[in-house]
Amino acid sequence: MKYKPKNFYNKWSKVFYMISEKTLAPVDVLFDQGYKLSYFSESLSKYEKNHLKPIEKDYNVFKSLNTWYKRDIFHIEMLVPFCPKCFSKFVIKNGVKERKLYFYHEGVVNSEIQMYKCKKCGKKFKTDITNIVDDNSNFTHEFKEKCIELAGLFFGSIRKIAYKIKKDTGISISRQTIENWILGYKIPKKEISNRYSGYYIFDVEWIKLNSVWNYRFTLFDSKQNIIVNDEIYPKENSANIQEFLSESTRNKKIIAITSDLNEKYKSIIEDLGFKHQWCLFHVFKNINKKIHDYMRDNELSDDEIDKIRQEKLELFSLFDIKSFKKARNRMNKILNQIKDYSGVIQAIIKDFLMPYFQTYFSYLLDENIERTSNKLENTFKITFPKSIKKKMKIKKGAMSRINIRKEILNQIKVFDNQPPSF
């Protein structure tokens, strides 16, 4: 028997001890996702590529989903499955849930939603597809958005929208469903308050709701050509005007507001710290009306009529002057010669022009101030034309249609892309 070193048994005893000892694998490895060759090579997949091209382009919709067609069934599963309760990735597939989805361009699509079971906590759950469709609806967000777009194009006419949808998709939708989508529409909020120019136009238009006249208050940014705020009030009184303008201009630049000749506006606008400009179109219209009424109510000779018309043109020439100082000097000359003017022209000068001279010519002190409210008047025609002014039943329905029209005209995008012009 050969001699064995003393450390022989000590050495091998350590080995035997190490073998008998249990060594645990890293826990995290158990929850790593397994990958298939088909994930890296489409040719190895037995499934067809997702054909829903319009949706596939929207990364936000499918960024967390894996989709494909299998035997004409649109399959949807989680890209990285995890338990919504314990957040474990140790989950297994647990069947599918069949569901019909309505896309506008693809029509009715038979779908299957992958179900899962968590092996850690036992929770059963399904793939979250709320980015595609609401839980309580078969109509996808894409389908609803298209219908909302049609509402903007057809001024909210339910009959025309339903006809267009049926023609394009073959799908019949109840008018109440379409109306509910319109009523639920909200313009996406964007934090752009600091981008408003401070130069605004304020005006009010009449809207009939359920045979009762209401009033649409609108504040418009005259430099950015975008509506700042819209609201419908039952009355056009000072309290409502004050509330609307105060709320609409809060935390925004305050420089100037152009409005029509409603005297209620003047004190409110100036109290809020704005320069005030009266719309010159309304000024000319008002002067012409005063003269027309005077000529209608009085028997005048041809010479008197000609004299009044010449004096009116002289007053109008004030607004062709490009300098506030020169306009003021010209006004002073007119006042010095006021006794030479016809009675109706004298009244217009004393009661209409002289007391509010600054309000007529504020635009000469700041070239960014809008001379007229024409921009907002045109916006009224586009967003809520006369053809539907008298057809609305409720305030919410009217405001939804107005908001849809504003969005369909792409006002927000234009505003975001245009640099300030002031």
Kindly report, residue by residue over 279-297, the tens digit of the pLDDT. 999 999 999 999 999 999 9
pLDDT value of residue 273? 95
CA separation for the pair 370, 282 (Å, rounded): 13
What would the two tokens of residue 56 be? 């596939």
Evaluate if residue 18 carries a pLDDT over 50.
no
Confidence grade of residue 117 (pLDDT, cut at 50, 70, 90) = very high
Identity of the residue numbered 213: W
> Mean pLDDT over all residues of the chain?
81
Confidence grade of residue 44 (pLDDT, cut at 50, 70, 90) = very low
What sign for the dihedral angle of Cα 350, 356, 362, 363?
Answer: negative
Contacts of 403 (CB under 8 A, 6+ apart): 185, 186, 187, 230
Among residues 187, 258, 179, which one has the least CA distance to residue 409? 187
* SS3 annotation, 124-170: EEECCCCCCECCCCCEEHHHHHHHHHHHHHCCCCHHHHHHHHHHHHC
What sign for the dihedral angle of Cα 141, 143, 147, 153?
Answer: positive
Mean pLDDT of 226-247: 94
List for the chain the helix, strand, coil content (%; round to 5): 45, 20, 35
Q: Is 403 left (phi over 0), alpha (psi -120 to 50) or beta?
A: alpha
CA separation for the pair 220, 229 (Å, rounded): 7
Mean pLDDT of 218-242: 93
pLDDT value of residue 92? 94
Confidence grade of residue 389 (pLDDT, cut at 50, 70, 90) = low
pLDDT value of residue 101? 92
* SS3 annotation, 317-358: HHHHCCCHHHHHHHHHHHHHCHHHCCHHHHHHHHHHHHHHHH
pLDDT value of residue 194? 58
Mean pLDDT of 128-142: 89
- pTM comes to 0.67
CA separation for the pair 326, 320 (Å, rounded): 11
Considering only residues 404 and 385, tell me which one the structure prediction assigns the higher pLDDT.
Answer: 404
Confidence grade of residue 184 (pLDDT, cut at 50, 70, 90) = confident
CA separation for the pair 50, 70 (Å, rounded): 10
Evaluate if residue 3 carries a pLDDT over 90.
no
Alpha carbons within 13 angstroms on the beta-carbon side of residue 413 total 5
pLDDT value of residue 371? 95
